[in-house]
Amino acid sequence: RIDLVNEIIELAYLTKDEINAVKKATLELTDEIDVSGVDEIIVLAEVEFVDERYERAGEYVEKAYDKMIELQSIEAKAEVVYLAARQNIETFLRENWEVLLGSVIAIFVFFFLFGRRLKRSFLKRKIKANYAEIEVLKGEIRLSQEVYFIKGQMSESEYHIKIKIYSEKIRTLNKDTAMLSEKIEGTKKRNKIKKELLENGTKEKKKG
């Protein structure tokens, strides 16, 4: 009986030491990997220890070590993949930097030469779309007038509400269209001034 008690006490001390050891090992890895999964297993080991199920606690300690090894393996693989990807990118840049630089310069030159033209084209398309929408709204107004005045199939309140909504939308579109037209004119003026400055500079060089 005494021997059994001594064995249990000895197992308790041994298990406690094992739990402390795995906790210390986990702390040492905290800065390197995410050990939250290991911490969860250690908590289970401590619960088993408090309940005096020392063998179960020892099993959880072993699982904690297995989890640490697994996480370290995943971290090592991730680092290998990262280093390989980084090396591939660096190699690609070294071998193709001239092509990449040429592409960047080509894109820059394209937008420098045609950026304003593209902007004007976009603004013109927007204005055209606004005009088309205005015509649709005017058609809706004419239809509402026909239904209300000629056919008498619309109430006065409904008619006034629809006319008000359509008219407000048309005013908003007209205002937006006017602003877009001003932007186009401003772009044209800036281009004209830029062209005149370039021409004057060319003339001055010829005189010199």
Based on the fold, state whether residues 136 and 181 are members of the same structural domain.
yes
**Residue 106 amino acid letter:** A
15: exposed, middle or buried (C-beta count within 10 Å: 0-12, 13-18, 19+)?
Answer: buried
How far apart are alpha carbons 80 and 76 in whole angstroms? Answer: 6
How far apart are alpha carbons 93 and 110 in whole angstroms? Answer: 23
Choosing from 67, 86, 105, the residue where a domain stops is 86
Secondary structure class of 155 (helix, strand, coil): coil
Range of the domain at 141: 115-207
pLDDT at 85: 84
Based on the fold, state whether residues 20 and 62 are members of the same structural domain.
yes
At a CB cut-off of 8 Å and minimum separation 6, what does 147 contact? 153, 154, 159
Based on the fold, state whether residues 18 and 67 are members of the same structural domain.
yes
Based on the fold, state whether residues 22 and 63 are members of the same structural domain.
yes
Based on the fold, state whether residues 75 and 35 are members of the same structural domain.
yes
pTM comes to: 0.45
Choosing from 86, 105, 131, the residue where a domain stops is 86
Is 17 among the domain residues?
yes
Q: With a cut of 70, which residues of the chain have pLDDT below it?
A: 1-2, 187-208
pLDDT at 206: 56
Is 46 among the domain residues?
yes
DSSP letter at 91? H
Is 93 among the domain residues?
no
Is 125 among the domain residues?
yes
Based on the fold, state whether residues 120 and 203 are members of the same structural domain.
yes
pLDDT at 35: 80
Is 102 among the domain residues?
no
Based on the fold, state whether residues 129 and 200 are members of the same structural domain.
yes
Based on the fold, state whether residues 186 and 147 are members of the same structural domain.
yes
pLDDT in tens, 21-44: 988 888 888 777 788 888 899 999
pLDDT at 194: 57
Is 110 among the domain residues?
no
Based on the fold, state whether residues 73 and 22 are members of the same structural domain.
yes
Q: How many domains does the chain have?
A: 2
Choosing from 86, 104, 136, the residue where a domain stops is 86
Q: Are 145 and 154 in contact (CB under 8 A)?
A: no
How far apart are alpha carbons 115 and 24 in whole angstroms? Answer: 63
